[in-house]
Amino acid sequence: MDHVTPEGHPERVARLEHVLHALEGLDLHRVTAPMAAEDDLLRIHPKSYIEGLRAALPASGFAQIDGDTFLSPGSMEAAWRGAGAVVRAVDMVMAGDVANAFCALRPPGHHAEKETAMGFCLFGNAALAAKHALDHHGLSHVAVVDFDVHHGNGTQDLLWDEARALTITSQQMPLWPGSGRPDETGAYDNVLNLPLAPDTGGEEMRALYEAQVFPRLRAFKPELIVISAGFDAHRDDPLAALNWETGDFRWLTRQLCTLAAELCGGRVVSTLEGGYDLEALAQSTRAHVEELMEAGK
């Protein structure tokens, strides 16, 4: 919450306040996110990029690093703890300390490319989770499922030539950032892009995931599923025009957890991405975490 954005910016402190408030009362095993080690970040970003961000950090006020991405004095610690969160989550899930994990963090991560911060994102958290599981824990198959309404261009960029990772991302199209066409399939046919027309509702989403996502996951046989959990496909979200409802996020989470139980001992690490209507974000996150908890029983 020390990552502050200018007045009127949609990716704001209040988002995390609402998420944490929505999770009150749940019997969660809570862990404070540690700072990532630089070696963790170097799995996904070059040193020059990390140092560039550090150098851009303002002593007060804001530094603008692209059209809609800002740094405040607390942003680097927030981003480093966000990256540390997914690393710790993977460690805990792989050790069997917990069945699954949700990382309540901001700034989000799935738009950050190797050398480019963009779309509110600084470090590619979901890709880092996958890389950490592959390189540190020695897994050979990790899947990333990104249901944020925007294309996970950063995750796609970071895992494009990672044959051990399958990246599946659904997104409204047309919509910023504009990428995410079906013919973007990765260096090893390891990326699946699913564009959705504006106004796509929950029933169409469910049919698409049943037809294309779940069979692809079954065929890939992941040992861990990483979820880029953005809740901006909700019908109330101000930044996009899909018509999913809270129950759709609950359904999708349940399906992914069921698949994880079938394929990889239930191992799921989910990380917060977008979601800009505070009430929809809060309710959808609550539903998402409730399903994770139910699956972990």
Regarding beta strands 63-66 and 69-71, do their DSSP bridges make them parallel or antiparallel, or are they unpaired? antiparallel
Q: Residue 150, interface with Zn ion (CB under 5 A)?
A: yes
Contact present, 135 and 112 (Cβ < 8 Å)? no
Q: Residue 234, interface with Zn ion (CB under 5 A)?
A: no
User: Catalytic one among 3, 18, 111, 151?
Assistant: 111
Q: What is the per-residue binding string for Zn ion in 162-191, x denoting contact by CB under 5 A? A: ------------------------------
> Three-state SS for 41?
helix
At its nearest, how many Å lie between Zn ion and the CB of residue 223?
27
Q: Residue count at the site for Zn ion (CB under 5 A)? A: 5
At its nearest, how many Å lie between Zn ion and the CB of residue 111?
8
Q: How far is CA 125 from CA 60, 62, 114, 226, in A?
A: 26, 23, 12, 10
**Closest CB to Zn ion among residues 133, 205:** 205
Q: Is it true that the peptide bond before 73 is cis, omega within 30 degrees of 0?
A: no
**Closest CB to Zn ion among residues 10, 296:** 10
Report residue 219 as tokens: 């065929």
Torsion, Cα 255 256 257 258, to 10 degrees, reads 50
The single residue among 107, 186, 230, 266 that binds Zn ion, judged by CB under 5 A, is 230
**Closest CB to Zn ion among residues 139, 256:** 256
DSSP letters for 67-126: TTEEE-TTHHHHHHHHHHHHHHHHHHHHHTSSSEEEE--SS--TT--SS--BTTBSS-HH
Please indicate whether residue 111 is annotated as part of the active site. Answer: yes
At its nearest, how many Å lie between Zn ion and the CB of residue 112?
13
The single residue among 157, 232, 245, 291 that binds Zn ion, judged by CB under 5 A, is 232
If one counts every other C-beta atom within 10 angstroms of the C-beta of residue 262, the result is 13
Q: Residue 274, interface with Zn ion (CB under 5 A)?
A: yes
**Closest CB to Zn ion among residues 186, 230:** 230
> Three-state SS for 270?
strand
Type of residue found at 198: P
**Closest CB to Zn ion among residues 150, 164:** 150
Q: Residue 148, interface with Zn ion (CB under 5 A)?
A: yes
Catalytic positions are: 111
| Site for Zn ion, rule CB under 5 A | 148, 150, 230, 232, 274
